[in-house]
Amino acid sequence: MTRAHTRTLTADPLGGTVSRTVLPGGLRVVTESIPAMRSATVGVWVGTGSRDEAPELSGASHFLEHLLFKGTGRRSAMDISAQIEAVGGETNAYTAKEYTCYFARVLDEDVPLAVDVLADVLTDSRLSPEDVETERGVILEEIAMQRDDPGDEIHDLFAAALFGSHPLARDIAGTPETVAELERDEIHRFYRERYVASNMVVVAAGNVSHAETVSMVDKGFASSVTDPAGVPAALRDSNAVVPPSGSSVTVVGRDSEQAHLVLGCHGLARRDERRFAFEVLGAILGGGMSSRLFQRIREEAGLAYSVFSYSAEFAETGLFGVYAGCAPENAHRVLELAREVLAEVARDGVDAEELVRGKGMIKGGLVLGLEDTGSRMSRLGRGELLFGDQLSVDEVLRRIDSVTLDQVADLAAEVLTRPRVLTVSGPFADTDFTGT
């Protein structure tokens, strides 16, 4: 009989003891035990997101996220929410391009309930035809609401333009057309194929015992998440080719009071060792009120209320974008200033004061963000699911501290000169940004 494999990963001075067990069926359990806390967050991470769907199934991961809370063989939808809320806890879920996360935050004494509810939801959802139809309407309303918010929609438009025919280009929620056509049997098959042991990680952070958590997970998930013969599922198309970079302009005409712009390019893949330097570069460019973009566009020129840069890393590529929201008459000048800042940093790099400030922003954000169990759970879940390991907080801080001016300058010269994609939403014609 195959036995579970357990090891302690870190005993972090800035956190707790992180331990990892792989159960016989391939399910991974990671905990961070912090006895000083009186709460805990339990999360189940599934390595399936919008990029893993066939084009005709676009939106299936997000649809499934909704449906799993609608009832199981043991609990109704009301039972699922009421049992957690009765102990002052909360439960929720979200879907991303490469994973889906389900979680519950409770008092430490209620961890057994949280694990039991999540295990029930993840392994025994009914997916009744009636619930499928009810949630279909809810999701279509959600898509419509998102499209009515150009500040949200512009980022989806940017990703679609940047990634082209690659699965990363697809909207997480799908389209009204694909959601309207998804059938219950298709969603159920997707559920059974994807929600398997080797593709899932259970994480608990807070005042938890690793051994007790493993025992609860083993019991709760044993019924239906063991892969046949324990063979890891090959679930992602590793042959998906990222389209070559190319410059493009996408304009969505809207009768709106504000223009929304995203200017960006391909970034770094998730496992690129330069990712810490790239984070520092992003903070310097558009990470706060002292950033170059904020100072130039808002503080000096007064042309926008909101301006920032952001990045995202995926398995084989990434993205970098600069967002600004401004009055339509200021859009071209804002775009011009953003390009000036990117060109300056690409050509000249950054100075020592900016480097220190950028490092401080990243380090402070990391440590301050770990003051609740939910953030700790998320860090562990992403580390295990996306990287297959855990870096201690100390190690991450060390890597950020080790970033040099030359590393940032080299990255800026490489990334910020790549062909750029521009997406614009506002009261414009298609030709208003031609040649910009």
Tokens matching residue 295? 């100072």
Sheet with 318-326, strands from edge to edge, namely 248-253, 421-426, 259-266, 318-326, 304-313
Strand pairing class (421-426; 248-253): parallel
279 is annotated as an active-site residue: no
The residue annotated as part of the active site, out of 32, 65, 135, 384, is 65
Largest CA distance in the chain: 70
Residue with tokens 């990434």: 318
Residue with tokens 């974008």: 321
Alpha-carbon distances, residue 337 vs 292, 296, 324, 329 (angstroms): 10, 7, 11, 14
| Signed CA dihedral, 162, 165, 169, 174: sign only | positive
Kind plus residue range of the DSSP H or E element containing 364: helix 352-368
- Indicate the residue type of 414: E
The count of C-alpha atoms lying within 13 angstroms of the C-alpha of 188, restricted to the half-sphere facing its C-beta, is 11
Tokens matching residue 183? 């059938």
First to last CA, the chain: 65
Nearest to 400 by CA among 356, 368, 369: 356
What is the Cα–Cα distance from 19 to 203, expressed in whole angstroms?
10
- Residues designated as active site: 65
